[in-house]
Amino acid sequence: MNIITIKKIAELANISAGTVDRIIHKRGQVAQETVDKVNAIIEEFGYTRNILASNLALNKKFHFAVFLPKSETLEYWKSQTDGIEKAALEFSKFGIVLDYFFYDYNWASFKESAQKVLEFDCDGLLFAPIFYEDSVQFLKEYEKKNIPIVMVDSNISEENEHAYVGQDAFQSGYLAGRLISFAVKNERQVLIFKITREIESTSVYQQRIKGFYSYFQDHDELTNFKFSEFALKDSGIDQLSLEMFSGVNSVFVPNSRAYIVAEFLEKNNIKGVRIIGFDLLKENIEYLNKGVIDFLINQRPEDQGYLGINYLYKKLVLQEDTERTHYIPLEIILKENYFPARK
């Protein structure tokens, strides 16, 4: 809300409103004495430019490019897109237009879409850097455009050069370590189950594992924990065997595929194994409600998508200085505090 209007400033300075407008928006030539007089009045009485009104009057459009994995078969990314769409609907009246660039969850599709994004002219970019090395290279090229960039899910920006909305991956792994350690007195065998796609995804995965180990390194009194790792591709889940769970008390799955382990344990009637994983996928929720999965750490993907667009809106439309890093609070979900919608 304006504290003083352009018309009032003009009256106090004994000049035209048009001259005041040129001074405020730094257009045209105005005598320095007049500029100083107007600035003194603004400093004394205060003036806030109504940026939204100016944009609406000019019918200005802001094009945001959205560069994400396809969400048809990936529930997590569907939630991200839902949040983005929610923000787009809310801010559309202020001239925001979204242009989507989706890619299949493979390297070739990512590279093809990345080239299209580089060639597209827009005002801001929301980007999910799934393939680490290629995402770093893409960012180096895209930075030449000198426009705001906000990343979701994974932060690969050096020294927070770009905005980020999402989890603190290291902290989420550290939290998983704490959850594993609760109420354990006897020796505990922990299996870190690394179930990945054909191509390993982002640094999120490794940061979670690093954070998990760091918890136990920081608590050297927890000497009764022994760790082992098992890596498996999605396409090789038939390699699961009873032997690999022999003597295992706890399983940490550092991504959203905890349900794969849970399904195997249930089918083979293996009980007493604590499972910790990530994300509220419907398969994970099913085994959470059955008591096979003990904890899920939720990173609220819909909020990430919404807040990513909200950052670009504040930065470009409102021209506000905004915090570049927004960590999503980590939610610990148990069957006792999860309430699925009843149809």
Degrees (nearest 5) of the Cα angle 235, 241, 242? 155
Closest C-alpha among 310, 216, 279 to residue 77 = 279
Q: Is the pLDDT of residue 51 over 80?
A: no
Residue 215 contacts residue 174 (beta carbons within 8 Å): yes
Per-residue model confidence (pLDDT) at position 2: 47
Rounded to an integer, the average pLDDT of 77-101 is 92
Phi, psi of 276 (to 5 degrees): -125, 130
Instruction: Please report, in angstroms and rounded to a whole number, the separation of the first and last CA atoms in the chain.
Output: 45
* Residue 2 falls in which region: left (phi positive, over 0), alpha (psi -120 to 50) or beta: beta
Report CA torsion sign: 287, 129, 125, 72.
Answer: negative
List Cβ neighbours of 40 (8 Å cut-off, separation of 6 or more): none
Residue 128 contacts residue 80 (beta carbons within 8 Å): yes
Residue 327 contacts residue 176 (beta carbons within 8 Å): no
Per-residue model confidence (pLDDT) at position 143: 92
Count CB-CB contacts under 10 A for residue 185. Answer: 6
Q: What is the pLDDT of residues 239-270, one digit of tens each?
A: 888 998 999 999 999 998 999 999 999 999 99
* pTM listed for this prediction: 0.79
Phi, psi of 291 (to 5 degrees): 85, 10
Q: pLDDT band at residue 50, thresholds of 50, 70 and 90?
A: low
Q: pLDDT band at residue 342, thresholds of 50, 70 and 90?
A: low
Report CA torsion sign: 329, 332, 336, 341.
Answer: positive
Separation between Cα atoms, residue 78 and residue 9, nearest integer Å:
51
Per-residue model confidence (pLDDT) at position 10: 87
Least confident of 31-35, 70-74, 274-278, 281-285: 70-74
Residue in this structure with the two tokens 């320095």, named with its chain if needed: 32
Q: pLDDT band at residue 132, thresholds of 50, 70 and 90?
A: confident
Per-residue model confidence (pLDDT) at position 84: 96
Q: pLDDT band at residue 47, thresholds of 50, 70 and 90?
A: low
Q: What is the pLDDT of residues 192-201, one digit of tens each?
A: 998 876 555 5
Q: What is the pLDDT of residues 299-326, one digit of tens each?
A: 999 999 999 999 999 998 888 888 899 9
Q: Are strands 274-278 and 295-298 parallel, antiparallel or unpaired?
A: parallel
Using a pLDDT cut of 70, give the percent of the chain over it: 90
Per-residue model confidence (pLDDT) at position 56: 55
